[in-house]
Amino acid sequence: MKNSALYIHIPFCDHKCIYCDFYSIITSDNVNSFLNSIKKEISYYSEKYNHDRIFTSIFFGGGTPSLMEPQYLKEILDNLKNNFNVDHKAEITMETNPGTVDKEKLKQFRQIGINRISIGIQSFDEDDLKFLTRIHDKQTAIQTVNNAAEVGFENISLDLIFNLPNQTKGKWIENLETALTLPIKHISTYSLILEPGTILNKMVLNGKVKMQDDDYDAELYETTIDFLNSMGFEQYEVSNFSKPGFECVHNNAYWKYKDYLGFGTSAHSFVDGKRWWNYTSLKKYISEVELNNNAVMNSETITNEQMHDEYVMLALRSSGLDLNEYKKRFSEDWISKTLPYFNLLQEQNLLTIESDWIKLTPKGYAVCDEILKNIL
């Protein structure tokens, strides 16, 4: 049986943040039609991909899934469990934003089977939150994490963004320190990226906002790694840190090149060497599912070369390249050819090679993109 993952994209949001480039819409129109379409899409794919796999994670992303009523997500969850072979110990994650859930609502999400919660805090600094156009303040963020713990969530993750305009190193460390006073097991830290089409990108192009430079970004990143490692959080991927045993199962499905099925607007799937993605527009998604039982906008079959490069890239970005596992999938030629460069990187303390395992060091993670460019 193959271990696989399930992803559900809930597009509804109460507000569009200036930096966000994920598909989201600020409307409650078509909420029920979307639910019907998701069920139809799930049923269609279960007939094709349920016989030889077990699903070990379910992830509700968005948008803002926590904006929905718990009963709404329960219908989707029940539908997934009725149509797929979902492991009874599966990790079931819901993204949430402070300001969209109170204690009672969190309790209901826990009761329907959500067992991991990922809270999009982004910053505990009031000025940063205003700049990012978040709907919450510092106190609401802290309260949301504490409420989640009090209603029984043991596996709590939060997101923070660094390298914001005018963010000092001291202010960023304060963010991390505040996070670690809370009952969390996982933390994702992302550098502020300018994505085309976002409000922030337009503000930078118009000269209203000035971004900090790449060197400062790298310095903050290395500070993040050192700080979180010293506090008992292990880095298992470029942007993700967890207490031992609390690595995100769903994230690891992506990093370890497992198959996954995605449902909903703009969702991507990857199964048996084929990748496909859904239409982004909600109305288009609903009409396509109505017509075809699916909403595939486009697809590609991965070539052997692509598969190799993606596998190596994902492994080195995360917990490392297991050479024994690699050799089961690919020939050893590339390893032999690249080994001198890996040895050089080891001398520079950018990676370690131990027991047939190649893993980037914290210093190596900081220049991960450059390393990958040189070897692939």
Q: Which residue has the tokens 């500070």?
A: 223
2-255 placed in CATH 3.20.20.70: yes
Residue extent(s) of CATH 3.20.20.70 domains in the chain: 2-255
pLDDT of residue 43: 97
pLDDT of residue 278: 97
CA 304 to chain centre: 26
* DSSP conformational letter for 303: P
DSSP line for 202-263? HHHHTTS--PPPHHHHHHHHHHHHHHHHHTTPEEEETTEEESTT---HHHHHHHTT-EEEEE
Residue 40 structure tokens? 């139809």
Distance in angstroms (rounded) separating the CA atoms of residues 139 and 131: 17
Residues making up the chain, counted from first to last: 376
Residue 217 structure tokens? 């970004």
Residue 30 structure tokens? 């078509």
Largest Cα span, the chain: 58
> Parallel, antiparallel, or unpaired for β 116-122 and 86-96?
parallel
Mean pLDDT of residues grouped by 10 in the chain (376 residues)? 95 65 64 96 94 94 92 98 97 94 97 97 87 80 97 97 87 96 97 65 62 79 94 95 97 95 97 96 96 98 96 95 92 91 95 93 90 92
Residue 149 structure tokens? 């713990």
Distance in angstroms (rounded) separating the CA atoms of residues 162 and 198: 18
